[in-house]
Amino acid sequence: MEKKKVLFISSEITPYLPETEMSKKARYLPQGIQERGKEIRTFMPRYGNVNERRNQLHEVIRLSGMNLIIDDTDHPLIIKVASIQSARMQVYFIDNEDYFQRKHIFKDAKGNEFADNDERAIFFARGVLETVIKLRWAPDLIHCQGWLTSLVPLYIKKAYNDDPLFVNSKVVYSVYHDDFKKSLDVNFRNKLKMNNITGDDTELVDDPSYVNVSKMAIQYSDAVIQGSPKINTEILEFIESSGKLFLDYQPEHTYIDAYNDFYDKVL
């Protein structure tokens, strides 16, 4: 029987970024799922504070070179890769000079959220999916972790739903305690339009707040996981009322097996 393929898309992974609840899960979960007999690919952004030399990142020329158009502007897509030798695992990095060269992740040195975080999320989601197409690798399941990945479910179900690689892909979205305070750019909905995505499809993010962006991710996902012990109560209520397959918070010593079993239910 052919191995099931799981695509992990995360906004942070240790050791490339400091250890957090999300970055640790994004590091050890793919390894654990691979050890349980599934095939994996893992993606994160190449933020400016990721040390390329220490982590031995190198550009994958055959995957780089595409331009993604966001709000009528071309943005070059650069793909880098590094290996975690002890886990026999590669991590792919989505890079772009405009969006990911700065030394901070979502906020500047003064704690102000970046005004282009909306476009960074768009670029990251589309960059991952375009790279997977270039790899000709058809994921059975796509697990998104962190709000920066929240557009992947929309794109999979609407913009890329005719692509043979994604036509049967199931999407799982993990909700963490990673709220942003200020709503994203007012033109967010317009920037999301592409292929089969219409204004009606993005009605939930008329006000692109953290809660509404999360709700849209849940709306287009097949299943949802509670990644943090406590998450936004409005989002939790939305999950419960959605009727989606749901896995509540799992402690550190059991989550890998619990997630693996949950994937099998979703598939």
Q: Which domains occur in the chain, in start order?
A: 5-266 (3.40.50.2000)
> What is the per-residue pLDDT for 195?
83
> What is the per-residue pLDDT for 55?
94
Distance of CA 216 to the CA centre of its chain: 14
Q: What is the pLDDT of residues 142-181, one digit of tens each?
A: 999 999 999 999 999 999 999 999 999 999 999 999 999 9
> What is the per-residue pLDDT for 200?
92
Burial class (CB in 10 A: 0-12, 13-18, 19+), 263: buried
Contact between residue 140 and residue 171 where contact means Cβ atoms under 8 Å apart: no
Low-confidence ranges of the chain (pLDDT < 50): none
CA nearest to 93, candidates 50, 134, 145: 50
Contact between residue 39 and residue 5 where contact means Cβ atoms under 8 Å apart: yes
Tokens found for residue 73: 């502007």
Helix extents (H) in the chain? 21-35, 52-55, 97-100, 117-135, 152-154, 188-192, 210-219, 233-242, 255-266
pTM, two decimal places: 0.97
